[in-house]
Protein backbone atom coordinates (compact mmCIF):
# COMPACT_ATOMS: atom_id res chain seq x y z
CA UNK A 1 0.00 0.00 0.00
CA UNK A 2 1.43 3.38 -1.00
CA UNK A 3 1.19 6.23 1.44
CA UNK A 4 1.58 9.87 0.61
CA UNK A 5 2.62 12.61 3.00
CA UNK A 6 -0.19 13.96 5.10
CA UNK A 7 -1.42 17.36 3.98
CA UNK A 8 0.45 19.05 6.80
CA UNK A 9 3.75 17.81 5.36
CA UNK A 10 5.39 19.66 2.51
CA UNK A 11 8.58 17.89 1.44
CA UNK A 12 11.38 19.35 -0.67
CA UNK A 13 14.62 17.54 -1.52
CA UNK A 14 17.69 19.58 -2.37
CA UNK A 15 19.94 17.41 -4.56
CA UNK A 16 21.79 17.27 -7.86
CA UNK A 17 21.79 14.71 -10.66
CA UNK A 18 24.67 12.26 -10.46
CA UNK A 19 25.21 12.65 -6.71
CA UNK A 20 25.54 9.09 -5.30
CA UNK A 21 24.37 10.16 -1.84
CA UNK A 22 21.31 11.81 -3.37
CA UNK A 23 20.42 8.48 -4.99
CA UNK A 24 20.16 6.94 -1.51
CA UNK A 25 17.71 9.68 -0.45
CA UNK A 26 15.71 9.50 -3.69
CA UNK A 27 15.24 5.71 -3.56
CA UNK A 28 12.48 5.69 -0.88
CA UNK A 29 10.78 8.66 -2.55
CA UNK A 30 10.38 6.59 -5.71
CA UNK A 31 9.66 3.33 -3.87
CA UNK A 32 6.91 4.90 -1.74
CA UNK A 33 5.61 7.10 -4.57
CA UNK A 34 5.90 10.22 -2.41
CA UNK A 35 5.05 13.73 -3.52
CA UNK A 36 8.34 15.57 -3.00
CA UNK A 37 9.46 18.74 -4.74
CA UNK A 38 12.90 18.10 -6.23
CA UNK A 39 15.30 21.07 -6.27
CA UNK A 40 18.48 20.50 -8.27
CA UNK A 41 21.10 22.83 -6.79
CA UNK A 42 23.40 22.51 -9.83
CA UNK A 43 20.68 23.53 -12.28
CA UNK A 44 19.27 26.43 -10.28
CA UNK A 45 21.58 28.76 -8.30
CA UNK A 46 18.57 30.03 -6.31
CA UNK A 47 18.05 26.56 -4.82
CA UNK A 48 21.70 26.39 -3.77
CA UNK A 49 21.40 29.86 -2.20
CA UNK A 50 18.32 28.73 -0.22
CA UNK A 51 20.22 25.69 1.01
CA UNK A 52 23.30 27.67 2.04
CA UNK A 53 21.12 30.22 3.85
CA UNK A 54 19.33 27.47 5.82
CA UNK A 55 22.23 25.09 6.44
CA UNK A 56 25.32 27.27 6.21
CA UNK A 57 26.67 25.11 3.37
CA UNK A 58 25.57 23.71 0.03
CA UNK A 59 26.10 20.01 0.73
CA UNK A 60 23.34 17.75 -0.58
CA UNK A 61 21.09 15.89 -0.09
CA UNK A 62 18.94 17.80 2.38
CA UNK A 63 15.23 17.24 2.96
CA UNK A 64 13.17 20.29 3.94
CA UNK A 65 10.03 19.38 5.88
CA UNK A 66 7.39 22.07 6.40
CA UNK A 67 4.57 21.24 8.82
CA UNK A 68 1.02 22.53 8.48
CA UNK A 69 1.74 25.21 11.09
CA UNK A 70 4.65 26.45 8.97
CA UNK A 71 7.50 25.18 11.13
CA UNK A 72 10.48 24.01 9.10
CA UNK A 73 12.87 21.15 9.72
CA UNK A 74 15.96 20.63 7.56
CA UNK A 75 17.22 17.04 7.53
CA UNK A 76 20.70 16.42 6.05
CA UNK A 77 22.47 13.11 5.40
CA UNK A 78 21.22 10.64 2.82
CA UNK A 79 20.73 7.68 5.16
CA UNK A 80 18.91 9.81 7.74
CA UNK A 81 16.59 11.09 5.01
CA UNK A 82 15.91 7.56 3.73
CA UNK A 83 15.28 6.29 7.27
CA UNK A 84 12.90 9.17 8.04
CA UNK A 85 10.87 8.62 4.86
CA UNK A 86 10.70 4.83 5.34
CA UNK A 87 9.62 5.16 8.99
CA UNK A 88 7.07 7.91 8.41
CA UNK A 89 5.57 6.78 5.09
CA UNK A 90 6.69 3.17 4.57
Question: Which residues, other chains included, contact 14 with Cβ-Cβ below 8 Å and sequence gap of 6+?
Answer: 39, 41, 47, 50, 51, 60, 61, 62, 63, 64
Task: Report yes or no on 47 lying in a domain.
Answer: yes
Domains contained in the chain, number: 1
Task: Report yes or no on 2 lying in a domain.
Answer: no
Predicted local confidence at residue 8, as pLDDT: 55
* Higher-pLDDT residue of 90, 58: 58
Predicted local confidence at residue 66, as pLDDT: 95
Say how many CA atoms lie within 13 Å of 65 toward its Cβ: 13
Task: Report yes or no on 4 lying in a domain.
Answer: no
Counting residues of the chain whose pLDDT is more than 70, the rounded percentage is: 91
What CATH number did the domain enclosing 51 receive?
A: 3.40.30.10
pTM score of the predicted model: 0.90
| Residue range(s) defining the domain that contains residue 70 | 10-89
pLDDT, tens digit, 9 for 90 and up, residues 2-42: 455 554 589 999 999 999 999 999 999 999 999 999 999 99
Amino acid sequence: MNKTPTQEDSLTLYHFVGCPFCTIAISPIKKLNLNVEMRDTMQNPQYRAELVKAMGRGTVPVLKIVAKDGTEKWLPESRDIAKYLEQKYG
